[in-house]
Amino acid sequence: MKFNYYDGDIYNSYVVGEVTLEQFVRAHESPKPQVLNLLKKTRAAAKKGDLKLKNKYKAKLYYFTPAVNILKGFERRYTNIVAFTGYAQLDFDKLKSKQEAIDFKKYLFDQYEVIRCAYLSPSKLGVKAIIQIPIVKSVDEYKDYYKGIEDEMEQYDGFDAAPKNAVLPLYISEDPEILYRPLIKTWDIKGDRTIDAWVSTYDPNKPLSGTTADELKAIALFKEKIDEIVDGDGHPRLRSACLVLGARVGAGYIDMNEAKRLAEYCVTSNSYLKKGISGYLSTANWAIEQGSSNPRYY
């Protein structure tokens, strides 16, 4: 099964091509010189505490979306998914040392036979992995399996559940000692997502009781935009999404209080935005109110 890769520009999110898992592994064993140079600069900036410079270099790395298949030339969006691959990514970060990351990588790989490959993150202070799941037919089904993974992996320090977003970008890294195995077992445990089911997805032909198709569409499109915020420029991207959401409030598609509740839910659920919740929620509320004075209709 192949999955997508993208050019080294996080803001140009159009599919360039496809790779197999084996090609993905080889790319991490021995990256190209320009990739190694960018990874080196990214780590140096992070070591100095210059997050702005770190994100600048990181945004130039090419990246993958292992969980999904989108046609070449199309944008990395839920609406463009044509198939799921049977892969999901795992992310563990902020470990204390490179040696701890190396030890944890080996532990994970030995402990879970459903893990196809495991390797060090670009910072060398984290671990990334690809886990085998069933080939699902919808975003909701993917999230059901990922909730099962989350319930298992949250016991480990540094686990980040952000990859429950099926189109989350996975940046290239470098690990000559990446661990890989052929398919042995598949993760087949679903979790219970009842707590966030109210904004899980929408079907314009089957609106929920008391909820219009236009409101469900506004919710789904807003969630998709927030899911795409994974690093850098959080405030302007959140502001842009909330201005549009506010415009849907002005158009009468969604209630103001419900829009603010949705924004709070999405911000606190986003692994990047939740690091600065207070500031991001202020931005969201301001933008929703501003956007409501400029109605936008479908």
Give tens-digit pLDDT for 228-238: 888 777 888 99
Mean pLDDT value of segment 180-197? 82
Q: Which of 41-45, 79-83, 209-213, 245-249 is predicted least confidently?
A: 209-213
Q: What is the pLDDT of residues 143-164, one digit of tens each?
A: 999 999 998 998 898 898 889 8
Does the pLDDT value for residue 70 go beyond 70? yes
What does the alpha-carbon distance between residue 167 and residue 213 come to, in Å, rounded to a whole number?
24
Predicted pLDDT at 203: 46
Give the residue from 196, 183, 172 showing the smallest Cα distance to 135.
Answer: 183
Q: Report yes or no on whether pTM surpasses 0.75.
A: no
Does the pLDDT value for residue 199 go beyond 50? no
In the chain, what's the furthest Cα-to-Cα distance? 57
Predicted pLDDT at 178: 98
Predicted pLDDT at 211: 64
What does the alpha-carbon distance between residue 21 and residue 27 come to, in Å, rounded to a whole number?
10
Predicted pLDDT at 272: 84
